[in-house]
Copies of this chain bind each other. A is one copy, B any other.
Amino acid sequence: MTDQMISADVIGEHNKSNEAALGSDYAALGENLSRRGIDIEAITKKVSEFFVAVPSWGVGTGGTRFARFPGQGEPRGIFDKLEDCSVINELTRATPTVSLHIPWDKTDPKDLKAKGNSLGLGFDAMNSNTFSDAPGQAHSYKYGSLSHTDAATRAQAVEHNIECIEIGNAIGSKALTVWIGDGSNFPGQANFTRQFERYLSSMADIYKALPDDWRLFSEHKMYEPAFYSTVVQDWGSNLLIAQTLGDKAFCLVDLGHHAPNTNIEMIVARLIQFKKLGGFHFNDSKYGDDDLDAGSIDPYRLFLVFNELVDAENRGVKGFHPAHMIDQSHNVTDPIESLISSANEIRRAYAQALIVDRKALDGYQQDNDALMATDTLKRAYRTDVEPILAEARRRAGGAIDPIAAYRKSGYRKKVAGERPAVVGGSGGIV
């Protein structure tokens, strides 16, 4: 029996008052889908089996270099964070695992595991941090970490990653995600080639420490914190890394880490085709690495990414099991609400992709009937699948409208009373 942060009563009462409307909408949608040859129950089942990991660092309020404006009841440490994560899962039944960031979440693995167990939460990919200096650290990452010119600094960064693997191993994680900020701010500051050689060498050292059943995810990003060049700047460099390291190395795609106008879904398709898609950091963006809620800016793009995933499923791509994780920064919303909403949007995109008439699509593609092909995607996309998502939640013990139920529960107010207020402000970084 797991601890519940949100009482079953709150959820039960909420669902009760929304069941009739949901029933009506679900029936109408079922009838519509049935006319299109789709069994709504099959979709609901697949949706209810689709999960996405939440990031431990995502339940605290984010910020920018200009300021951070904390909210009420900010989590004080990893145990508070896990409780907040549990709230999300209890209401959505879509997020049974948490992704940790070390050293932020560093503590005795036994305690982590026990807390996870008590909340019914597992642990997804581990995340290392060599983009900032931890107190007392021997060598600074100011000029790089895994690709630093100094061997001792590189060794320290490698060591830290190996420690992340060890912690992860103790708590049941099966993957390490490596994102670094290494790069340069000025032309000439770094020799691109030597820097990449050093990076590859450090990564090879980490790779050696990887247990057999683990995967190593490297994450590319165009810029920030480095503003002229970044070592793993795009999927091309990322692919070279995964190819160089070996079969357990894969590329991680963060939707906000690309150049303007990039066709991300095509990159996803290429990585799948060449067996190197490791998984995702879901979020949305309008400008740069904005880390906004998944689907909040360009929901059709999110759908198109899932269209590739479902296409790969349908083609029976061998060994295809990408990791689904959220990576967002919640600056103006209650982080719990944003994560609930994002998990829902991700499932929405998946559900829409599932109801694409793939046989018809294939025919239109063969015939170069561009209009009907794109219309086939659009018909699926514009279907309001919320009744499916709500019903999947309801059946699994979650809430029909999880944000409404969360607000009703008074959880934020409760933790605001328990957790001391945090002062925000600016470090004057500008």
Residues of A with Cβ closer than 8 Å to B? Answer: 21, 24-25, 28, 31-32, 35, 57, 60, 62-69, 101, 104, 129, 131-135, 140-144, 149, 181, 184-194, 196-197, 222-225, 227-229, 233-237, 239-240, 258-263, 265-267, 269-270, 272-274, 285-288, 290-293, 296-301, 304, 307-308, 311-312, 315, 329, 331-334, 337-338, 341, 348, 361-362, 364-368, 370-378, 381-384, 386, 403, 423-430
Contact = CB atoms under 8 A, between A and B. Distances in A.
A104 B68 contact: no
B191 A374 contact: no
Top 10 nearest A-B pairs by Cβ distance?
Answer: A132-B426, A259-B259, A67-B132, A236-B236, A28-B28, A69-B142, A186-B374, A192-B269, A227-B290, A260-B260
A370 B141 contact: no
Contact of A133 (B25, B69, B134, B149): B69
Interface centre among A341, A366, A372 (most CB of B within 10 A): A372
B185 A292 contact: yes
28 contacts: A24-B31, A28-B31, A57-B428, A60-B428, A62-B65, A64-B65, A67-B225, A133-B426, A135-B425, A143-B368, A149-B367, A186-B292, A187-B300, A188-B365, A188-B374, A192-B270, A196-B269, A222-B287, A227-B292, A228-B286, A235-B236, A260-B261, A297-B300, A298-B301, A299-B381, A337-B371, A338-B371, A427-B427
Given A104-B428, A234-B234, A292-B227, A190 B67 contact: no
A315 to B, nearest CB: 7
B263 A233 contact: yes
Given A193-B311, A258-B259, 4 more contacts: A67-B141, A101-B430, A189-B365, A229-B263
Contacts of A67: 131-133, 141, 181, 225
A371 B334 contact: yes
Nearest to A36: B21
A227 B285 contact: yes
Interface centre among A181, A188, A298, A366 (most CB of B within 10 A): A188
A337 B370 CA distance: 11
A237 to B, nearest CB: 6
Nearest to A184: B370
A362 B362 CA distance: 44
Contacts of A287: 222-224, 227, 261, 288
Contacts of A299: 300, 378, 381
Nearest to A27: B28
Nearest to A338: B371
Contacts of A383: 384
Contacts of A235: 234, 236
Contacts of A197: 273
Interface centre among A35, A185, A362 (most CB of B within 10 A): A185
